[in-house]
Amino acid sequence: MTVRHVQIHERLYLSLGVALSVALACVNGWHPLLLEAAGLTCAYALLVCRAEAGGRMRLLGAYVVTWALYASSSVLVEALAVPLRHHELLAADVALFGESPVLALRGVMSPGLNDLLSLGYMSYHVYLHWALLQVVISNKQGVLFGPRLFTAFAIGFCGYLLYPAAPPLTAFPELFETPLAGGLLTHWNESLNSAMASRYDAFPSLHALITLTLLAWDWRFFRLRFWIMLTPSLLMLAATLALRLHYAVDLLVAGLLFLVLQFIYVRNQSCSR
């Protein structure tokens, strides 16, 4: 196959891979992550050069890179000795609201409501994979969907790596004297986050940024799924604060990034007509 057009999210992922490889080499000289970062970057570059833009293989390749970056982000932060910023995020909340909304919600939510919010929070993974699988299986619109979804992820990962911060619940356990009241769903969500979540994934909120991106996509291309996922998505946004998983400023920055990206997409579409 001939070399294909390299899309914006692929350029971002490849640039991020090269930057991480160089940073690891400069800071540590040799680190096991260096081989992984360089190897994955080279493999992804080869895939981008050989497969069709917007096709299944390029989408699945971006998906693999996405989860590799998420899974390794905390280890990368520690290997590169990047300063943690959760104190700054809590201070920003206080400066904006007088008291962080996360702290204001302590003891307010009932066990049943926390279960409902936990279900909404977990719906993020359903939404993400439903949308991605629909595009992969149909093998249509991937050339449009890939840049929207994975550019948002790439920008979010830059935040994770440059401004790492632990969620309120783990960064400031002394501020939460009592555990979250809830039933099976609340405890299940807490267990999943403890076992699978990155340790420094607060800023910006990718749950918010990716969900807003998917809702905007569905409003234009898949209106039925938009209406199906709107309520779970709103519950998910509320859950980020009520379940002590994000600072309010994380959501505000995610919303701002979403608006900027949407403006760029609309402008590019207008220019291409």
> In Å, how far are 70, 113, 190, 229 from 199, measured between CA atoms?
10, 26, 13, 27
In which residue are the tokens 């069709």 written? 52
Q: What is the DSSP string of 120-180?
A: HHHHHHHHHHHHHHHHHHHT-SHHHHHHHHHHHHHHHHHHHHHS----HHHH-GGG--SPP
Each residue's pLDDT, cut to its tens digit, for the chain (273 residues) gives: 334 589 999 999 999 999 999 999 998 777 788 999 999 999 999 999 998 888 999 999 999 999 999 999 999 999 999 999 999 999 999 999 999 999 999 888 888 999 999 999 999 999 999 999 999 999 888 899 999 999 999 999 999 999 999 999 999 999 988 888 878 888 888 888 877 778 999 999 999 999 999 999 999 999 999 999 999 999 999 999 999 999 999 999 999 999 999 998 887 766 655
Torsion of CA 215, 163, 187, 118, to 10 degrees: -20
> Which pTM does this prediction carry?
0.93
